[in-house]
Structure formats: structure tokens, C-alpha cells
Structure 1
């Protein structure tokens, strides 16, 4: 059985990977994250505190556990924070990745790197893996630089790009678009939603499954991983309202420009999933199915 080390295991994707490994036992898991373990079950895997900016500690942890593969989920993902604190964004997204890659090269470890649709400018989505990147934000720029570092390495690597990940865990450190829309509408708060950006929202479980498939199938190269439904952000929020029978009349559609966000967002991303479906046997859920899974998990969390 392969030993997999996951960075950023306290995040949404990291927790879904832990959940999957505990339920299915396909690999031996070493979960690592900054600070204490936030996953509610402590047995069935090992947890090691690991701040990816502490190179000495990262080396120590990796040499201690000697994993067969690393799934690198830790990153700065807040696009506006990336614009405001470029130095930290570069350290987390580029420098930390380069350090991990060099350790993978030295120790013959496979490297699965998580990337983003924000490496594209959104002028011509949905995108194939080989389409030319052109990031609009500093966050997108750092994720592209990390990809280039991965590609140039001699390690055995795969890059999984994804889009707008949603889902729920027991201990959410930050929200995502589905939970934000549901929470606001349930409170009767009027919300402004952009109607000129298109995405393919990704269920966190689907992304976790793709990560494990990439390890198991020894995937090489770049793979696009998202949900299968293409929609505007405004449509996405309306679908959330419909699913939970919430009031759609308090949703106002606005343009991206009127938001005055410091980081520019791509207009139309979305992915062509053919390669990932063919090579990895990836089976993404529809958005409706994803909402049903989130709903069932929320009921479970509420009943505990």
C-alpha cells in the first residue's frame, strides 16, 4: 500500500482526502498542516504539524515518513489577499512548492500539485490542458510559476488544475460560494452576485478522488479537474436558492467591474474534461448531485 503525504490537510480538500482514505483505505495517509489537526477523527492515519514555509521542518517530516507521493494542496488561495500581500503569496505558492519539489527529486517521491483555472485570462474558456496560460491576478501568476517549477523538475509529477471548489467539513476555517450563498439567503440577507463570470464548480469529494486516482494510476502531466456543469456565478447562486427553496428575489445581479476587487478575475474559465475522464476514469458529479451530497452531510453534522 502506498504512503501518501498531504500538505494543507486542514483545508477543505485536505479534509476530504482524509475522509476518503479513512472510508476506503486505499493508501496509508500522512496528513500535514500548519497548527493542530482539525479533522475530528484522529485514528487511522498519522498527523504531523508542518508549516510549508519552514523548510527545515518540511525536510524533517518528509525524511521521517518517506512517502511514495506528496499531494500538495496547501496554498494561498484568496485572490485579493494575494494582490495585497504579494511577498507572502509568492512564498506560499512558489517558494514552498519549489522546496517540496527539490525534496521529491532527492527522495524519489511522486509530486501531485494542485493548480487553478486562474492561470487563464478567461477570454476563451472552457480550456484544454494545453491551452496557453495568461493570468490576470498575482495569485494566478504565482500558481503558474509553481506549475513551471513542477514541469522543469526531474521528479515524477502531475498537475491537477481545478475550479471553484465547494463542500462542507465539520470544522470549516473558511467558506465557499455554495455555503456563503445558502447562509446569506437563509438569513434573508440581500446579496449581490456577478452575472458576467462563468465557471464549472467542483465538488471537493470529486477533486479528492481525482488526487487519489492520479497517484494510483501514476498519472503524468497536466489534468483538468472540475464539475461537469458550466454556469454563470449568478446561475450558480440561483441553483443553490432553488435546491434549498430559498428566496431568489433578494439576489441582485451585478457586473464584475462594480465590485471594485483589487484582483482581476477571468470572465469565462471552465475546463474540457475529456483527458481526465479518459486517463483517470474521473466521474464528476453534476452540480445538483453535488448540492445533494452537501445537504446530506450538513444533516449528518447537525445531528451529531
Structure 2
């Protein structure tokens, strides 16, 4: 029996690389796409047998090569997005064109037999941020272009494609990727600035449910296994966050506590005191009851996830 094919769209990004690293040890045939830059040499060296394809998410150019050389995937995981909210504000046209996967859905619909599960990464920023612990059925009222593009993507997939799982992810954190990314990762950034011993401002009134990257990978693995074993079409929407609602201050305090840095370095300020060039929802913490009940997962606590993350990198000053 031939191996099931899994295509990771946006495989050179943070989640994409973690998926490649995890799924490579499974009995699956993997491939991934990239866009602006060729795969980093470190990634290519680590995964030389996994084919990569350049794909333009605006036009769909490149999907034909995937069809010809890899074949129709059994599962597509769409991680491709402009995910920096300020970048979305600065180029709204690009945000909508890339974050709403019209070309990807059209390509999947072009196959004569629909045997592909689409796992699409959405965001907690679809919520307005005026209360705590949003549920999947709550109204989506995004306050910025990034959130609006992701809402449009969810609606497009739901209307056009018959077999999907949409995952509304919170801030994803965890160990560095095989090929380190140019942008800073949240826990690593907090560790680096606190290690310098300089005071820094953190928001006390902006709340999220950060999700440990390996938990998110595990959720996706479970969905892949369910589709391959049961072949029952899905129309699934899940909040995928961690179990803890934390402010930016609390996020930094956990890093300081694990490392042994002084929490006096963490200065508490209101998010309203800083102009970031984009509106940011205040509280988009998520209720993950449906995730736990549907897939039987036990998400990693934020403190444990921070500990696991920091143990993967050296301490930058004397640690206990």
C-alpha cells in the first residue's frame, strides 16, 4: 500500500518546520511549499529527501508542479499567511490575497475525486477581545486587517470546500526551528531582553492563551490519523490555545521565574499607552473545552511550556 501524502503549505515557517520535523518519522510521504525565498540550506540539509515546491498563494502558480511530481495529497496543512498584524495593515491587498486561500481551494477542487482533508490555520484574532474565554460559536468581530483576512478565509473554506478542519490558534511558542527564523520568537525574545538586566515594559491588560508548538503539532497529527483511518469528512472548527489565560506581564514573569531573573525588570504598562500602528484586541483568551473533548488532548500549561522551551537553549546569564 502506498504511503499517504501530506503537503505542508508554508513549510519554511515556524509551525511548518516543526510539522516537517515531527511528521518525517511517521509512515507518511511529505512535501512542502515555500514562496519568497528558497528553503534555507539548514532545512534542506536536515530534510534532503522531502520535496519542496515554490507556490504563489495569490495565483496558484506552482500547484501544477505539486500535482505532477507529488500527486494529489491526502492531507493539506495550510500554514501560509502574512501573520504579522502590522504588515497586514500596511498592505491590505496582499493580506487578503494570501491569507484567503482561494487558489489553494480551487486547486483541491480541481481533482476528480475529493480525497483531501484541508487543515487550515486560523487565529484567535478573529475575536473582538471584549471578554474572556471565547467559544467557537461566539461572533467573530475582528479589529484589524489580519483578523478580517482570517475570518474571510474561514468563510471561504466553509462555503467552498467540503472537508476541512479550521484551527484558531493563539500565540504559538516553543523551541527554535531547524532553520532559525529571521523574526524573534516570543519566549526567546523575552529571555534575551531579561538576560541583559534592563527594565522593559510589558502589557498588563492584553490577554492570550499561548499554545505550545508541540501541542499544536499533536492536534494536527491526530486529525491526520483520524482522516486516514476513518475517511469521514470533517467540517470542524476548533479553538487551539493553551490552558492558561495570561497577560504579556505574566508571560514575561514565567520566563523570569524559570531563568531566575529579577521580576523587577518587568514594568507593567497598559497596551493603550503604545501606538503599534495596528489595533490589537485586549482579551482574546479562548475556551478550549471543545478541543479537549473532541480530540482527547491535554494541552501543556504555559509554565511547563516555557520551561521546556528554555531548557532547549543556553541561559544568557547566571541561572539557578
Match of 1:123 in 2: 130
Partner residue in 2 for 1:164: 171
- Within 1, Cα distance between the matches of 2:305 and 2:207? 18
Instruction: Return the offset for 1:237.
Output: 0.8
Please show how residues 187-206 of structure 1 align to structure 2 within 5 Å: 187-206=196-215
1:213 to 213, 218, 222: 222
Report the counterpart of residue 318 of structure 2 in structure 1.
none
What 5-or-longer segments of structure 1 have no aligned partner? 300-304
Pair 1:287–1:62, CA change in 2 (3 A): farther
Instruction: Verify the 8 A CA contact 1:240 1:291 in the aligned structure 2.
Output: yes
After superposition, where does 1:44-193 map in structure 2 within 5 Å?
Answer: 44-65=49-70, 66-94=72-100, 97-107=101-111, 108=114, 109-167=116-174, 168-170=176-178, 171-193=180-202
- The aligned counterpart of 1:21 is 23
- 1:302 corresponds in structure 2 to none
Cα RMSD, aligned residues only: 1.7
Contact 1:104 1:155 in 2 (8 A): no
Bigger Rg, structure 1 or 2? 2
- Measured against aligned partners, the alpha-carbon deviations of 1:108-144 in whole angstroms (never above 9, x if no partner) come to 2221110000000011221111111000001100010
Question: Helix, strand or coil for the counterpart of 2:83?
Answer: coil
- Cα gap change, 1:187/1:26 in structure 2, threshold over 3 Å: closer, same or farther? farther
In structure 2, distance between residues paired with 1:179 and 1:224:
25
> Any idea what the Cα deviations from partners look like across 1:254-291, whole Å, max 9, x if unmatched?
11111112211111112211221122222211112212
CA gap of 1:44–1:57, structure 2 versus 1, over 3 A, is closer
How far apart are 1:76 and its partner, in Å? 0.4
State which drifts further: 128-137 or 58-67: 58-67
State the secondary structure of the residue aligned to 2:298: coil
SS in structure 2 opposite 1:152?
Answer: helix
Distance (Å, rounded) in 2 between the aligned partners of 1:214 and 1:128: 20
TM-score, length of structure 1 as denominator length: 0.92
Q: For 1:208 and 1:84, how far apart are their aligned partners in 2? A: 30
Alignment correspondent of 1:237: 252
Measure how far apart 1:88 and its partner are: 1.4
Structure 2 unmatched runs, 5+: 228-233, 315-320
Distance 1:43 1:255, change over 3 A: same
1: distance between equivalents of 2:27 and 2:267? 45
Conserved in 2, the CA contact under 8 Å of 1:217 and 1:280? no
- Which of 255, 276, 301 lines up with 1:286 in the alignment? 301
For the 8 Å contact 2:79–2:121, the answer to whether it is kept is yes
Which deviations, in whole Å up to 9, do the C-alpha atoms of 1:220-247 show, x marking residues without a partner?
3101111111111111111111111112
Moved more, 33-42 or 191-200: 33-42
